[in-house]
């Protein structure tokens, strides 16, 4: 009996963690340092604050990620369909040179920042529970997370979140 109860508790904890859909970034995530293409440092909060009043599509990607590159044409379609949206690309490339070359090579248009600790370390990737890229997050014009997790740019949930 004790084992069954323990099992149920563990399952409920795992399920609640996997389906968590926060509507706000944690303070630690907002304080994460990011770097733009000019190597200027900002906090993630400062980047988000630059776009108050607008919807933001965050695309967490890397230049070495095959699925990320494969999804770029769909992101370009979203950009054409929703030109008023801010497209914020967060690279988890650990080598800034690779990231910058990837932006140029794949003609990635939007706001660009790098998380130099990669996809395994850091408060922002920890908050996102980043275990796969690409990862898409939509932040609404009020600064709230309206879509916490999509892993394909063709996900209809992205379009719904951008419309609302």
DSSP codes, 13-66: HHHHHHT---SS--HHHHT-EEEETT--EEEHHHHHHTTTTS-EEEEEE-TT-H
Average pLDDT over residues 83-102: 96
Q: Is the pLDDT of residue 36 over 90?
A: yes
Q: Which pLDDT score, from 0 to 100, does residue 8 have?
A: 46
Q: What are phi and psi of 71, to 5 degrees?
A: -85, -10
Q: Which pLDDT score, from 0 to 100, does residue 38 have?
A: 97
Percent residues over pLDDT 90 in the chain:
83
Q: What is the model's pTM?
A: 0.86
Average pLDDT over residues 28-39: 96
Q: Which pLDDT score, from 0 to 100, does residue 19 have?
A: 53
Q: Which CATH homologous superfamily contains domain 22-163?
A: Glutaredoxin (3.40.30.10)
The DSSP secondary-structure symbol of 85 reads S
What is the rounded average pLDDT for all residues in the chain? 90
Average pLDDT over residues 43-71: 96
Q: Could you tell me the residue ranges of all domains in the chain?
A: 22-163
Size of the chain, expressed as the number of residues it contains: 164
Q: If pLDDT is split at 50, 70 and 90, which confidence band does 15 have?
A: very low
Question: What tens digit of pLDDT does each residue of 114-131 get?
Answer: 998 898 899 999 999 998
129: left (phi over 0), alpha (psi -120 to 50) or beta: left
Q: Which pLDDT score, from 0 to 100, does residue 6 have?
A: 47
Q: Which pLDDT score, from 0 to 100, does residue 148 have?
A: 96
Q: Which pLDDT score, from 0 to 100, does residue 10 have?
A: 47
Average pLDDT over residues 111-116: 96
């Amino acid at each position: 009996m004790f084992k069954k109860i323990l099992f149920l508790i563990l399952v409920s904890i795992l399920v609640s963690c996997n389906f968590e859909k926060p509507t706000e970034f944690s303070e630690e995530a907002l304080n994460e340092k990011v770097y733009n293409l000019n190597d200027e440092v900002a906090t993630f909060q400062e980047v988000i604050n630059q776009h108050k009043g607008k919807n933001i599509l965050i695309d967490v990607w890397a230049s070495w990620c095959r699925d990320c590159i494969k999804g770029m044409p769909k992101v370009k379609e979203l950009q054409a369909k929703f030109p008023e949206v801010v497209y914020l690309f967060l690279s988890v490339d650990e080598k800034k040179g690779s990231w910058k070359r990837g932006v140029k090579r794949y003609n990635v248009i939007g706001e660009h920042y790098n998380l130099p600790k990669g996809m395994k370390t850091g408060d922002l990737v920890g908050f996102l529970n980043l275990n796969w890229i690409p990862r898409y997050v939509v932040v609404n014009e009020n600064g709230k997370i309206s879509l916490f997790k999509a892993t394909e740019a063709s996900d209809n949930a992205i379009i719904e979140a951008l419309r609302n």
